[in-house]
Amino acid sequence: METCWFIDCHCHLTAEEFRQDINDVIEKSRKAGVRAFVSVTEQQSEFEEVIDLAERYPESVMACFGIHPIQSSADGHRSVTVQIGLDFTPWFVSTSQQREEQQKVFALQLDIAKQLDLPVNVHSRSAGRQTIAFLKEQGIWNALLHNFAGRPSVALEGVQAGFCFSFPPAVTRNDQRAKLIRQIPLENICLETDSPSLGPKKEERNEPEKIRIACQYIAAVKGVSVETVCEVTTCNALKLFPKVHQRLKE
């Protein structure tokens, strides 16, 4: 895999877990073959941080703005009113009003993406079918559904719409995603780490350098070489994120 390189399509470099050593994390990951990081925010307070990080690493860190649909607060977790994506996890979102509020704001932010001609990087936990239907309804055709865990039949609806799906190293913890990954064409798959979460070991901090673990797992499930998965998923990411492609050519 020496000649193969990766794009981490969904990570959180401005997370608190990276606050003390983010420069080391980025450099170590680059040495491991990660050429670009799509760094996604989870709350508004991270916006300036991710801009600063992208300015410090203009050749590799790409800022991706959004607010996670479930927010932490002093008294636990709550459904957010400004976000990209849908999260209908029952113990967080228990009322139809909360779901409707998420969908209203989701539509507003999808409009911004359309106006700016940008792809969307979407969270869809416990809402895979609803999210795919909503994206299609809103006229979105350039989308990444990160850490997708819906049914294969639902994913294929997204495949028909031209959407991509990405998977983190956590898929190696059990075989529940194997059937899903087997059904989705490789041409619709990207790689991510969702670091600092969703690593191969739940109790350890995940880092972008571990993206190759997801690559190796997908290769094993599909019965193809690791190099093939690396090359195709990187190509898919460059098509999905043209600004990343442009930045890497500069």
Q: Which sign, positive or negative, has the C-alpha torsion 83, 93, 126, 159? A: negative
Length of the chain: 250
b/e per residue, 55-78, with b = 16+ CB within 10 A? Answer: eebeebbbbbbbbbbbbeeeeeee
Residue 240 falls inside a structural domain:
yes
Residue 70, in any domain of the structure: yes
Residue 91's pLDDT is: 39
Alpha-carbon span 249 to 179, nearest angstrom = 36
Phi, psi at 65, each rounded to 5°: -95, 135
Give the model's pLDDT for residue 207: 98
The encoded tokens of residue 170 equal 């956590």
Segment 155-186, tens digit of pLDDT: 999 999 999 999 999 999 988 899 999 999 99
Low-confidence ranges of the chain (pLDDT < 50): 1-2, 74, 79-83, 90-92
pLDDT (0 to 100) of residue 80: 47
Distance between CA atoms of 245 and 233, rounded to whole angstroms? 13
pLDDT at residue number 109? 80
How high is the pLDDT of residue 94?
Answer: 52
Distances in Å between the Cα of 24 and the Cα atoms of 19, 20, 27 are 11, 9, 5
- Does 62 reside within a domain? yes
Give the structural domain span for 154: 6-249
In a domain, 1, yes or no: no
Residues 198 and 206: their CA atoms lie apart, in Å, by 6
**Exposed (0-12), middle (13-18) or buried (19+): which is 133, by Cβ within 10 Å?**
middle
What does the alpha-carbon distance between residue 109 and residue 98 come to, in Å, rounded to a whole number?
A: 17
The whole model's pTM is what? Answer: 0.89
What is the pLDDT at residue 85? 54
Burial call 200-233: b when 16+ CB within 10 Å, e when fewer:
beeeeebbbbbbbbbbbbbbebbeeebeebbebb
Domain-located, residue 190: yes
> Cβ–Cβ contacts within 10 Å for residue 8, how many?
30
* 85 within domain boundaries: yes
Please indicate, yes or no, if residue 14 is contained in any of the structural domains.
Answer: yes
Asked, for residue 65, whether it belongs to a domain, the answer is: yes
**Based on the structure, what is the number of domains in the chain?**
1
> Which pLDDT score, from 0 to 100, does residue 81 have?
47
Q: What is the CATH number of the domain that holds 150?
A: 3.20.20.140
